[in-house]
Each structure stands twice: as C-alpha cells, then as structure tokens.
Amino acid sequence: MQQPRILVAGYGAWAKAENNPAAQVVKELAKRDWTGCEVIGHVMPVNTADLRGHVEDLLTTHLPDAWVGIGVSEAAIVQAEMVGINWRHFDVPDSTGTSVDRQPILPGGPVGYNATLPNAAMVAAMNEAGIPASLSFSAGTHLCNQMLYTTAHVIEERGLPTLSGFIHVPQTPANIALIPGRKRHAASMSLAMTTDALAICIDTLVAALKARHPETV
C-alpha cells in the first residue's frame, strides 16, 4: 500500500487576513521533506458559495487518507476543532463580499459532525514540544466551521475512509503589526512555530493512520 496521503487545505486572503497564516503555513509545509507520507497542500478560497465544490474536487482528485483544514483565529494558541455545526452566520464578509445571517450549511442536514482526526494526541504532542495548543468545541459559524462540516458530510456521503478535521492557528506578528488601533493584548504566533505545530500534527496523524493500517509503508 502507498504511504499515507495527507491533504492540507489552508484558507487564503479575506477581510481579517490579507496574508492569511493558514495559506502561509501550507506554503511552508510544501518546502519540507516528508518521509513516510505524502503531503499535498492547497490554498482554499474564502468563498462560502463555492466551498463544497472545492471540497468535492479535491477529494476526487487526491483521494487523501486524511484532510486537515487550517484557518486563522484571534486566539493565542493552536486549536484543534472537535465539531462542525450546521450553521453559517457571519457579518465579516468572505472574499466575494458575501455575509450570511442564520442559514444552514446544508438544509435538512445533520446538526453537526465530529472531527475524526486524532485531535487529543495532536494537541498533546504540540504541548510536549513547547507549542501551546488545546482542544476546541466551537469552530464558530464562519467558513472554518463550514469547511469542517462540509468535508465531513461529503466524506460520509461518499462512504470514504478519509479522516477529517480543522485546526485554527493564531495570527502572525507581522499581521498584528499592520492592524490600525489594534488591541494591546492582540495575540500572535510566529509563522515558524505555527508551521512546526502543523508538522507535528501531520506526524501524529500519520502515526495514527499507520497504526490503523500496519501494512502501510
């Protein structure tokens, strides 16, 4: 069997992050040499209407063993999201200028989907490496939550064995420095540390996949 294939989908530019750390991490991970797995990076447009189409196309094209979504938050730590809910509700517009008021992601769909990545193990590994991380039980109601919910739904709909989940990362110091009138305690994390955090998550995930499928090389 081929090595585990991990698809990392990080969001690109939008109103709160023209230079989104999620997209930056995807590009930094692509520079690393990976042994024991294949890592495919993709910068995802912040477009609520087109999100499902992108998810379906990526799953069809790459057939990953696991999907790791990445987005930016205002937190000071890395957060592994545990659940995606069937709501879209945001006044900060997406990249097309669209905002949404109390609409389901999937009319008539399940209330929520649990992430299936080994979140607890990933968080433990990041903390052990000196990178602050925690589990989170609310991914919000913007496109980060929408990716988590939509990916899980498409995977279930297609009967795929793919693991999926979403990780929120902090802003970079460079982005915080550009915010006019920023809060005194605005949170950030260096791009290097955030990239290391995601690399640890990938290594932990690959180990979990190989434990499930010992025949994987």
The whole-number pLDDT of residue 15 equals 84
pLDDT band for position 143 (cuts 50, 70, 90): very high
Note whether 87 and 50 are within 8 A (CB). Answer: no
State the average pLDDT over residues 101-127. Answer: 98
pLDDT confidence band for 91 (50 / 70 / 90): very high
The set of catalytic residues is 81, 144, 168
Give the model's pLDDT for residue 2: 81
Please check whether residue 9 is in contact with residue 44, taking contact to mean a CB–CB distance below 8 angstroms.
yes
- Say if CB 69 and CB 166 are below 8 A apart: yes
pLDDT tens for each residue of 120-135:
999 999 999 999 999 9
What backbone phi and psi angles, to 5 degrees, belong to 154?
-65, -40
Query: Which CATH code fits 5-212?
Result: 3.40.630.20
- The pLDDT tens digits for 12-70 are 998 878 899 999 999 999 999 999 999 999 999 999 999 999 999 999 999 999 999 99
Residue 60, pLDDT score: 98
Selected residue with higher pLDDT from 205 and 215: 205
- CA 2 to chain centroid, in Å, comes to 24
Exposed, middle or buried, 168 (CB in 10 Å: 0-12/13-18/19+)?
Answer: buried
Give Cβ neighbours of residue 89 (< 8 Å, ≥ 6 apart): 100, 101, 102, 103, 141
DSSP 3-state of 212: helix
Give the pLDDT confidence of 147-199 residue by residue, as tens digits. 999 999 999 999 999 999 999 999 999 999 988 887 778 899 999 999 999 99
Structure confidence at residue 96 (pLDDT): 95
Q: Per the structure block, which two tokens stand in for 209?
A: 């996949």
Q: Cα torsion at 135, 98, 88, 140 (round to 10°)? A: 20
> Is the confidence at residue 87, as pLDDT, over 80?
yes
Three-point CA angle 66, 136, 200, nearest 5°: 45
Q: Please, which pLDDT band fits residue 216 given cuts at 50, 70 and 90? A: low
pLDDT above 90 for 212:
no
Q: Indicate whether 217 pLDDT > 70.
A: no
Q: Is the pLDDT of residue 207 over 80?
A: yes
- pLDDT: is 113 or 185 the higher one? 113
